[in-house]
Structure 1
Amino acid sequence: MQFSILHFLSVLLAAATASPCVAQTSIPSEIEVQTVLERFAPIQLLSFAAGFEYCGYLVRNPQGKLTFTEIVRGGPDGCTPLVPSPEVELIASVHTHGAYDPLVPAEFPTVMDIDSDRREGVNGYIATPGGRLWYVDSAALTVHQLCNSKCLPQDPEFQPGDDGIIALHYTRQELLNQERAQ
């Protein structure tokens, strides 16, 4: 697995201290990230086979354990998770970006991903067809690549490089500029 929590933490800390005008960057715990990676692995395979996005929430149950709501199937380019029980603490949204499609840039989050999490008041995790895991910091309006290609199952049809050079992090504005240029 190509995951380095120390590298990720250093990137987030640099972003958090870069400017006093930037919203405070949240840092997920290593256990939270590992829990997401373990849950996403089988969901990725299902997402590739079906050609659809899958989504849900990472929550903390009343006993304090990290767990997930039911993971539901969405469409080829979107997914709406079920509303979690009020008995759990909502931690983050989770969703896949579906199967590889050479016509759809899917190796990084979208502005809609950031905006959806911000509206819900949660952060988010996104798995891509190339096997990347992204973290959405909805307060800071930034996304951070937690691990690169192949740290999660990768769609067998995936073609590296189709989405260009993938940065380690993006601001919402940078993603908006990319989307407008396409």
Structure 2
Amino acid sequence: MKGFRSAPWSPLSDPAPRHRPARSPALRRRIALLAIAVGAGAGALFPASIAAAAPAALRPPPAGEVAAVRAHLAPAQMRSIETDREYCGYLGSLPDGRLAFTEMLRGRRNTCTPRLPRTGFTPIASMHTHGAYDPTVSAEFPTVQDMDSDRREGVNGYVATPGGRLWYIDSSAEVVIQICGPGCLPQDRNFRDGDDGPTRNRYSRDELRILEGTN
């Protein structure tokens, strides 16, 4: 895409890993309960902090940024599905203000740690894929670790799923939003939508924590 180019990376930085969790037997039940709670106002089943996750703090990404990320993620998404490995990198800005991308590095099956360039690159958002479709892995939404890693690094994030969804992580607001649904990025041909129950368009960090069953 015109106006965008890759930036060299350096092994000197120490970014945090991103990962996808295993699907536990209770996950579908937690998603169903969460959907019921949200529909009922969430007050009965979940703390008020979840019911009142503040959307006012959310800052949706610029349309031009999203278009650039989708174009850059598409080939990495295809490699991720073919190899069942996560791929990760960064979106950032150059000193002249242009957007740029780091190399999309191949990670492991359930984790990937991106690398930052040494100089001349200001990171804006991390980007990573969630590998190939696996009925035992909950890969259709970002994880708490994804959000926490972005927050520690002071960046936002983009996550591509095996179903072809694109998610945006606003790490300051601690909210994830679904930019586009299944098939908006390359999709694993074996993908079955609905394995985790209904997927909402927005989750707070607390809601993700409940879905994963983490503390």
Scaled by the length of structure 1, the TM-score of the pair is: 0.85
Residue 164 (structure 1) shift: 1.2
1:157 partnered with 2:168 = no
2:88 and 2:107 in contact (8 A); partners too:
yes
2:97 to 64, 86, 101: 64
What CA deviation, in whole Å up to 9, does each residue of 1:39-66 have, x standing for no partner? 1111110001111000000011222221
Residue 21 (structure 1) shift: 6.7
Between the two structures, name the one with larger relative contact order (CA 8 Å, sep ≥ 6).
2
2:91 and 2:125 in contact (8 A); partners too:
yes
Give the corresponding residue for 1:9.
none
Residue type of the alignment partner of 1:73 = R
1:28 partnered with 2:55 = no
Q: Which runs of 5+ in 1 are unaligned?
A: 1-17
Residue 23 (structure 1) shift: 7.2
| Whole-angstrom CA distance in 1 between matches of 2:78 and 2:151 | 28
1:47 to 68, 80, 88: 80
Q: What secondary structure does 1:40 align onto? A: helix
| Whole-angstrom CA distance in 2 between matches of 1:34 and 1:123 | 16
Give the corresponding residue for 2:109.
76
| Whole-angstrom CA distance in 2 between matches of 1:151 and 1:30 | 15
1:109 partnered with 2:142 = yes
What CA deviation, in whole Å up to 9, does each residue of 1:112-161 have, x standing for no partner? 11111011010000000000000000001110000000000101111111
Give the corresponding residue for 1:132.
165
Compared CA separation, residues 20 and 41, structure 1 to 2 (3 A): closer
Q: What secondary structure does 1:33 align onto? A: helix
1:106 and 1:163 in contact (8 A); partners too:
no
2:53 and 2:204 in contact (8 A); partners too:
no
Scaled by the length of structure 2, the TM-score of the pair is: 0.72
| Whole-angstrom CA distance in 1 between matches of 2:185 and 2:55 | 30
Residue type of the alignment partner of 2:173 = A
| Whole-angstrom CA distance in 1 between matches of 2:114 and 2:79 | 16
Q: Which runs of 5+ in 2 are unaligned?
A: 1-50
RMSD between superposed Cα atoms in Å: 1.9
Q: What secondary structure does 1:84 align onto? A: coil
| Whole-angstrom CA distance in 2 between matches of 1:84 and 1:27 | 26
